[in-house]
Amino acid sequence: MSSQLVILGASSATPTSNRNPSAQLLNIHERYFLIDCGEGTQMQLRKFKLRFAKINHIFISHLHGDHYLGLLGFLSSLHLLGRTIELHLYCHPPLKEIIDVQLKHSETTLRYTIVYHFYDKKATEVLFEDDKVKVETILLNHRVPCRGFLFTEKPGLLSIKKDKIEYYKIQVKEIHAIKCGEDFVTAEGKTIANHYLTWPANKPVSYAYCSDTCYDERILESIKDVDTLYHEATFMQSMQKRAKETYHSTAKEAATIALKANAKKLIIGHFSARYSDLNPLLEEAKAVFENTELAEEGKVIKF
């Protein structure tokens, strides 16, 4: 995947002196997806020198403030910066009402159009799809309706061997068909098998974002064999009772989900403000699932 993920925020509930609420920017083949937009997100985008104008799709997991309170400011800044192209916003229906009220009472008419995509109430669904990537919802178990997101790269084209182009005098107009898997027929009528002319395409990879959720194995079907999994880890296992009461997960539980899903990598985040040192959460998760990383602000994860 020609992609990278930038962590913009990974704090739960409230900002701290060194952690902002949830927000991530995912770039897949130059498609820029903003995932959640907690307070201060646009400042983080500036801090890490990420361009506002490239973001055309925003996914809001649910309507707790630490996941969307930065959105109004971000939308306003896009307006003030002169954006005119439409912006696609994927969300629960009440978010439109919240935005409309803000715009109404500030007497603001955006220069651009927000195209709303509302989640299905009960089923997983495809939110976005083009020739490079597909985005699907993951049903999460939280106090309010909440969605995770599965980003899956589409299979790429085969790579043609340059020496074969010259040897068989393959024309430019014929290269695309070969990259798509077709055999080549020479001017003399001889058929050259595709596998002899090409290298395999890079294996498509996937990223799953599971924000606020209690431990729930029902998500395993959606995230099975995912390459990189982000899963909230608000508490340590010593506070499992509190995690269950608030429909959150512990670091151990996040790691257990990663293990059972056969994920290749786990990123834990959405940390409670009570933890100034995150290493104990990391150690707890790694004891179950070794390939675990912390969602630290500014961290860039390449796929």
> How do residues 139-183 score in pLDDT, each as one tens digit?
999 999 999 999 999 988 778 888 988 878 888 888 888 888 899
> Rounded to an integer, what distance in angstroms lies between the CA atom of residue 111 and that of residue 299?
33
176 and 272 in a single domain? The answer is no
In the block, residue with structure tokens 């939308």: 75
Decide which of 199, 227, 258 is a domain's last residue: 199
State whether 210 and 255 are in the same domain: yes
HSE (side-chain half, CA atoms, 13 Å) at 31: 19
Q: Helix (H, G, I), strand (E, B), or coil: what is residue 51?
A: coil
- Residues 253, 108 share a domain: yes
Tens digit of each residue's pLDDT (9 = 90 or more) over 14-50: 999 899 999 999 999 999 999 999 999 999 999 999 9
Same domain assignment for residues 47 and 136: yes
CATH number of the domain that residue 106 is part of: 3.60.15.10
The angle that helices 251-261 and 279-286 make with each other, rounded to 10 degrees, is 30
Report, as residue numbers or ranges, the catalytic residues.
66
206 and 191 in a common domain: no
**246 and 170 housed in the same domain:** no
Q: Are 64 and 114 part of one and the same domain?
A: yes
Alpha carbon 216 to chain centroid, angstroms: 20
For the chain, list residues with pLDDT below 70.
1-2
pTM above 0.75, yes or no: yes
Based on the fold, state whether residues 152 and 164 are members of the same structural domain. Answer: no
Residues 290 and 214 in one domain: yes
What's the token pair of residue 134? 């597909």
Shared domain check, 236 and 113: yes
Q: 166 lies in which domain range? A: 159-199
**Cα–Cα distance, 98 to 30 (Å, whole number):** 30
Tokens of residue 275, six digits: 């933890």
The partner residues of 91 in beta bridges, in order of sequence, read 118
Residues 85 and 195 placed together within one structural domain of the fold: no
